[in-house]
Structure 1
């Protein structure tokens, strides 16, 4: 069995162990070449593979690209927002941005109809992407099912450059639907380098470590493919934001996440019920302080709700010392989440007609 199943329910465990096993380099080694971003500063983006060539292209004024995908898995929550924040990071660096909606993969691996997944992509993802500042007119956005004949033909040609041993060692005994989805993903990752998109260029794909199997095999395909030169894609790796109850955040468990369409009241209720690192009694908490690393409310603040490192550090120190109580930490989070959701949902309502018009003008199906 593979060490990580990119289609499974993944509990990563020790990130440093995965880095060593798969040859992922620490992001700290090149952090000074990256923009000043909280994900970099706080170790949320913790590793990379091959990012030096990508940064060299930027520094030398050459073309470079960033690619990511949307897997329609349910409502759009703060775990998904991590991807959008990184899209904006690379777009601000000057990267050409490609976004694939994985409706074929959802059909093959999640038993969703194409119609169902497309509707979910538009309603839950694209409208939130636009509200968060992604201009769809400025990116190459497409659905896998409508990527074009050249795209889908190449994905099948890529199969020639992998061996049975490589596939089994990477994915285990993957069924035909998963292998078909994987080949389509290789075409997605390499799409920015297709001749019709300007040809070879350094391309980065920000992922969780669970998606590293796809990255490794795409790099093999890029190295071996003879019909066109490709630059082996680079990748960055971000930590998973954990669920509000601890453990994995899952779209199938509404208590584990705050959706960007949740009401303020529901979001506050979820924060109240979240797992904290506080001690059982007031006296014990004052004496021992909180276990900040196991506090899911603090993690929400660190990932998304507090930009200023000084403010976050002050909260960390007061909470860890016992000076700040769990209830006080939750109150900070509830105030921050209300401010964010009110503004975001206003923007979402504002951009919704534009997203619907974009789909109508660019795709031949109804939502």
Structure 2
């Protein structure tokens, strides 16, 4: 079994085997210490590493943090929601929030111009984040390209604490773009613990399993770096939401996802075209029932559109028994999606003045710091 490429198209067939390979613990071991959360209850958030350090700090009343990054390489879709919902959960628990816009990484590994990346950050991420409840005023938001000299210098100092063999064993190659991007990410993950941000504190990073290589090497850097007594970052892991056609959901394939900026009619068309677990005929479906494990519409309901567990179980039971047809399941999804999108689009526009003012204040504070492309 090989390591995971955080820049590749990752699909995980066996989460248990992946957890065992990389030392990830089941979330159930700490679930009773977390707020009641749909993603945890349903096993969508399935794993954690050292989350006890964050929960212990919370219980003691000590500072703790949650850190996440966003890759501005495409639209913000339902597959991205699991990270944001976890960030909100930790923010509501009292965590300091750090949010990094990875414009340098997008430039170095995805060939996206810095200015294009910044535009995507605002239109596809910040507006959606605020509309979905993130408190931007209580968040340390920054672009990698404007992270400040201390941050960027720190990322270079970290190079002393990772060997070429470790890097190649983790990422496959020591390609210069990947090397620069990864060292910058280590500084991003440890940013909440930097001296200018209050020093070492327990920090959790919610990620998909594809980003675990970055987390593991950051933990190694934290344990080896002597100038600051960093704590190894904790992490949580969520399952990938599959694409509407089955397989991987991708920002570059509009058929595979529903973006939070999609119009209602477009979103409904995508539901109609989605892969289902229905049978070849109505008669066969009535007799044998649908297969929820193969139904991408049910997965969308289970991840995000049906919040009540009892209601979701009723839908599952009726679909598996054959009492509910695929068309009826799709209609439930379309109705829920229409309600969600209409409300969300209103919240996005309401959030725009707040986001524009926030960015204008940042631009004024950062005047004179520019990065050439």
Alignment of 1:258-269 (within 5 A): 258-269=258-269
Q: Distance in 2 between matches of 1:60 and 1:295?
A: 44
**Aligned match of 1:250:** 250
Q: Distance in 1 between matches of 2:299 and 2:282?
A: 22
* 2:90 counterpart of 1:90: yes
After the TM superposition, which of the residue ranges 81-90 and 306-315 deviates more from structure 2? 81-90
Root mean square deviation of aligned Cα: 1.2
**Aligned match of 1:358:** 358
**Aligned match of 2:100:** 100
**Aligned match of 1:41:** 41
**Aligned match of 2:156:** 156
CA contact (8 A) 2:86 2:206 kept: yes
For each residue in 1:104-158, what CA deviation from the matched residue of structure 2 results, as whole angstroms up to 9, or x when unmatched?
0001000011101001101111011111111211100000000000000000000
**Aligned match of 1:239:** 239
**Aligned match of 1:221:** 221
Alignment of 1:92-171 (within 5 A): 92-171=92-171
How many Å apart are 1:190 and its aligned residue? Answer: 0.3
Q: Distance in 2 between matches of 1:58 and 1:135?
A: 19
For each residue in 1:10-68, what CA deviation from the matched residue of structure 2 results, as whole angstroms up to 9, or x when unmatched?
11221111001001001111111111101000000000111111111111111110000
TM-score (structure 2 length as normaliser) = 0.96
CA contact (8 A) 1:2 1:172 kept: no
Structure 1 residue runs of 5 or longer lacking an equivalent are: none
CA contact (8 A) 1:319 1:325 kept: yes
SS at match of 2:67: strand
How many Å apart are 1:269 and its aligned residue? Answer: 0.7
Q: Distance in 2 between matches of 1:230 and 1:137?
A: 26
CA contact (8 A) 2:164 2:174 kept: no
**Aligned match of 1:72:** 72
Structure 2 residue runs of 5 or longer lacking an equivalent are: none
CA contact (8 A) 1:2 1:169 kept: no
* 2:288 counterpart of 1:288: yes
CA contact (8 A) 1:71 1:103 kept: yes
How many Å apart are 1:174 and its aligned residue? Answer: 3.1
**Aligned match of 1:179:** 179
SS at match of 1:315: helix
Alignment of 1:23-38 (within 5 A): 23-38=23-38
Q: Which runs of 4+ in 1 moved over 6 A?
A: none
**Aligned match of 2:272:** 272
CA contact (8 A) 1:51 1:234 kept: yes
SS at match of 2:275: coil
SS at match of 1:237: strand
For each residue in 1:270-294, what CA deviation from the matched residue of structure 2 results, as whole angstroms up to 9, or x when unmatched?
1011000011111111111111011
Q: Distance in 2 between matches of 1:341 and 1:137?
A: 25
After the TM superposition, which of the residue ranges 222-231 and 356-365 deviates more from structure 2? 356-365
TM-score (structure 1 length as normaliser) = 0.98
How many Å apart are 1:3 and its aligned residue? Answer: 2.2
Q: Distance in 1 between matches of 2:235 and 2:362?
A: 29
**Aligned match of 1:3:** 3
For each residue in 1:141-179, what CA deviation from the matched residue of structure 2 results, as whole angstroms up to 9, or x when unmatched?
000000000000000000101112211111111301111
After the TM superposition, which of the residue ranges 357-366 and 103-112 deviates more from structure 2? 357-366
For each residue in 1:163-204, what CA deviation from the matched residue of structure 2 results, as whole angstroms up to 9, or x when unmatched?
122111111113011111000000000000001111110000
For each residue in 1:273-323, what CA deviation from the matched residue of structure 2 results, as whole angstroms up to 9, or x when unmatched?
100001111111111111101110011011111111000001011101111
Q: Distance in 1 between matches of 2:291 and 2:331?
A: 18
**Aligned match of 2:341:** 341
